[in-house]
Each structure stands twice: as C-alpha cells, then as structure tokens.
Amino acid sequence: MRRTHAEPVMGTVVSFDLVTDGVDAADVDDALALACAGLHEIDDVFSTWQPASPVSRLRRGETTLDECPPEVAEVLDRCARARDLTDGWFDPWAMPGGLDPTGLVKGWAAQRALAVLETCGVRSAMVNAGGDVTAIGGPEVGRPWRLGVRHPDDPTRMLAVVPLLDAALATSGTYERGDHVIDPWTAAPSSAGIVSASVVGGDLGLADALATALVAGGPAAARHITAIPGYAALMVSADRRLHVVGDFPGLPVGAGTR
C-alpha cells in the first residue's frame, strides 16, 4: 500500500510518498505527523521571512550562535563544508542581505524528515521538498524510485529519469520563481548563464547546496563537483544546452558527454 501526503511548509509544499506494507497504520500516522512537525520547527528556526526567527535575529546581530537552537550550528557547519567543497561557489555568508543558509536548509530538512520516517519503521519512502527529493527503498521490491528532472521550459518534459536508490536529487533553477541566484564572489546576480542545475548524491542538504553553487558558478563551480565522490550533476545553460558533470544517471542515450 502507498500513502501520500502534501504538507505546505517553508514557502513550498513537501510531498511524502510512503510504502506502508509491514508498518502499523498508527505508526505511519505518527511518522508523518512527526516528520511534518519537524519541518515546521525547522521553518520556524531558519526562516529568513519571519523577522523573529532565530536565524533572522542572527542575521541582524541580535543574537549569537550559542543562543540559537543547536540545529543552527549544525546547519552552519554543513554550509561551511559545502563552501569548502565548492571553493566558495556556495557561500551563505556572502549574500547581500547577510547570512542566508536557505540554499542548504530545505534539502537538509527533507533529509531529516526522511530519517524520522525511517526511525518510525518506514523502510521505503520518498520526500520531495518542492522539487528537492530524497528517498529510501523503492516503491516496489526490486525497483528504485524514479524521478524525472523537469525541463526548464516545459513542465511536461523530462531531461532525465533518475533512478534513486537510497539517494537524493536536488534541482536549483531560475525558471520557477524568476529568482536571481547570487554570485557569492560579487554579491550580485550570477552571470554564469545556468537556468537549471540538478545534483544527485547521498545527502540532500549537500546536493541542494551544490545545485545552488552550480547555478551561481556554472562550469567554474562544476570543476569542484567532479572532485566530490558520489555526486554528479546535470546543468542546462541559457542556450538550452545540456552539461553533464561526472556520472549523472538516467540520461537519454547520447545526451551530453562526460
């Protein structure tokens, strides 16, 4: 049996898809309730839209890291690691409005939600945080979850269909909300000309950060992704060409080169 749930949180909708075979119905309810509560707690801590959130107060210098919930330090540690891995192309400390870990938080939060489900006995599930996906198990025995990477110009077309086996897939792009992605080196909107970047790897928080780095830096950032074991990427440039970074799974035959 399958159980789906859509939870509006963090300014988007987080979708859950659980295989419930072998799990008590009550445990499934608890798992979903706990996972969603965790997402809302994270939103309350990290939201840069809520002026009273700990991270908003930290941005304004009204509080210190020590006074914040411990999750803030954990996320900032992960941000620092992602900054190092990308040689600065992901850098929450270089944003014009002050510290902004948003590029990692959503993926990290979804990864935590998945861990909550796992702790509650769910062995097969997919969590999709507004387009950033992480999964364990598969929808059926012997079959991994299959995720489409959306074409930037057409929601009905897929650039690739990625089999996810205990892995994560994050996509950053400029097409959905008309966002500017900030170049951390100039603190101005990026001129790298990347409209979409998807990263596959073990952890959704890191994948999310790496996807953000790729939109900000394009090929300059991609050089660093190839050095991270277990991660690979797919980028679309403004001229609608496909760029493959590392061993990205699920591409149509003949698409891109390595």
End-to-end Cα spacing for the chain: 39
Question: Looking at beta carbons only, is 91 or 132 nearer to another protein?
Answer: 132
| Sheet of 168-173, strand order | 2-9, 12-19, 125-129, 132-136, 168-173, 194-201, 232-237
Question: Looking at beta carbons only, is 60 or 143 nearer to another protein?
Answer: 143
Question: Looking at beta carbons only, is 79 or 162 nearer to another protein?
Answer: 162
Please state the closest distance from residue 54 (CB atom) to another protein, in A.
Answer: 22
Pairs from 245-253 (Cβ < 8 Å, separation ≥ 24):
245/214, 248/160, 248/162, 248/198, 248/200, 249/160, 249/162, 249/163, 249/200, 250/149, 250/160, 250/161, 250/162, 250/163, 251/159, 251/160, 252/160
CA distance 182 to 190: 5
Token pair for 2:
């399958």
Please state the closest distance from residue 45 (CB atom) to another protein, in A.
Answer: 19
Question: Looking at beta carbons only, is 60 or 258 nearer to another protein?
Answer: 258
Question: Looking at beta carbons only, is 69 or 148 nearer to another protein?
Answer: 148
Please state the closest distance from residue 214 (CB atom) to another protein, in A.
Answer: 10
Please state the closest distance from residue 153 (CB atom) to another protein, in A.
Answer: 8
Please state the closest distance from residue 83 (CB atom) to another protein, in A.
Answer: 20
